[in-house]
């Protein structure tokens, strides 16, 4: 009786370990964002080849063949997390200048609200942010049908907040010149994002 009791307890404990282990990505992540960042760091993912339009209706892609790209996702009406991201990107822009990384790193803010954020509306936003087009482009998708695949690839989830805005996760996504998403970092990890971006563009040039 005692033996079977012990076996029963062992089976139960094993089931609990399996359930918790699966839920936490092998006891490494409690949140979806952490798990996604670990997945991407372990296995970079190719980003979709889609067309983005900036304030001048000029076409861009998520990938730049010369430089690494630090991508974030915003909507210009946002007054919470996007304002913080705007400040972070201004700092990133001045850091790129200060470190002389213009030929290695570029910045890209992608609006996930193409209905409101038309190219015409992106202009005043870019001016307000004092975005230098040589370093920092602010764009939105040319075809809104491409948006779900992009958000999916980057692990960004956008939900309506019920008062005509959105709630979304904010992070710095580093895409290397091969068009692979290689790192997802907390939105305040400015130095680390630049280091990772620079390292990947150097590695790309060495390979070529």
Partner 1 sequence: MTAGQVVLVVIAVSTVGVAVATRSPLEQTMQRHMLMQLPMLFGAGMLIGSAVAPRGAVRAMWRRWNVHGVAGLLFACGVLATWMVPRALDAAVEHLAIDALKLLSLVAAGAIARHSWHVASAIVRTFVLGNMAWMTATVGMLLLDAPARLCTSYGASDQRETGIAMIALTMAGVAGAAVYAWWAPRWLPA
Question: Considering only CA atoms, which of 86, 65, 99, 91 is closest in space to residue 176?
Answer: 65
Q: Scan residues 46-75 and list those touching partner 1 (CB under 8 A).
A: none
Cβ 190 to partner 1, closest distance in Å?
17
With CB under 8 A as the contact rule, which of the stretches 18-26, 49-57, 90-98, 142-150 interacts with partner 1?
18-26
Cβ distance to partner 1 smaller for residue 24 or 90: 24
Query: Does 39 help bind partner 1 (rule: CB under 8 A)?
Result: no
Q: Where are the beta strands (DSSP E) in the chain?
A: 45-46, 52-54, 59-60, 68-74, 105-111, 136-141, 158-160, 166-168, 171-175, 180-186
Q: Scan residues 141-200 and list those touching partner 1 (CB under 8 A).
A: 157, 159, 161, 167, 169
Query: Do residues 115 and 76 lie in contact, with contact meaning Cβ atoms separated by under 8 Å?
Result: no
Nearest-Å Rg of the Cα atoms of the chain is 20
Cβ distance to partner 1 smaller for residue 2 or 98: 2
Cβ distance to partner 1 smaller for residue 115 or 159: 159
Residue of the chain from 26, 30, 84, 87 that contacts partner 1 (CB under 8 A): 30
Query: Does 42 help bind partner 1 (rule: CB under 8 A)?
Result: no
Rounded Cα distance, 111 and 126, in Å:
12
Residues in contact with 86: Cβ distance below 8 Å, sequence separation at least 6, in sequence order: 74, 129
Cβ distance to partner 1 smaller for residue 8 or 133: 8
**Cβ neighbour number for residue 13 with a 10 Å cutoff:** 10
Rounded Cα distance, 69 and 179, in Å:
9
Cβ 97 to partner 1, closest distance in Å?
29
Cβ 116 to partner 1, closest distance in Å?
20
Cβ distance to partner 1 smaller for residue 6 or 58: 6
* Rounded (5°) CA angle 48-70-112: 55
Q: Which residues bind partner 1 (CB under 8 A)?
A: 1-2, 4-5, 7-9, 11-13, 15-16, 19-20, 22-25, 29-35, 157, 159, 161, 167, 169
């Amino acid at each position: 009786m005692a033996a079977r009791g012990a076996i029963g307890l062992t089976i139960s404990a094993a089931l609990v370990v399996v359930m918790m282990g699966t839920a936490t990505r092998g006891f490494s992540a409690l949140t979806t964002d952490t798990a996604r960042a670990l997945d991407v760091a372990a296995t970079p993912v190719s980003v979709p080849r889609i067309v983005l339009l900036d304030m001048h209706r000029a076409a861009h892609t998520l990938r730049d063949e010369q430089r690494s790209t630090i991508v974030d996702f915003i909507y210009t009406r946002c007054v919470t997390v996007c304002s913080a991201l705007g400040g972070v990107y201004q700092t990133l822009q001045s850091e790129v200048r200060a470190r002389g990384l213009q030929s290695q790193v570029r910045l890209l803010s992608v609006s996930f609200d193409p209905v409101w954020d038309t190219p015409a509306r992106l202009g005043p936003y870019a001016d307000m942010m004092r975005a230098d087009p040589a370093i920092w482009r602010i764009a939105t998708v040319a075809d809104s049908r491409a948006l779900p695949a992009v958000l999916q690839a980057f692990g960004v989830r956008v939900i309506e907040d019920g008062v005509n805005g959105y709630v979304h996760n904010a992070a710095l996504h580093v895409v290397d010149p091969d068009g692979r998403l290689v790192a997802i970092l907390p939105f305040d990890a400015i130095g680390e994002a630049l280091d990772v971006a620079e390292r990947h563009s150097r590695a790309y040039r060495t390979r070529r």
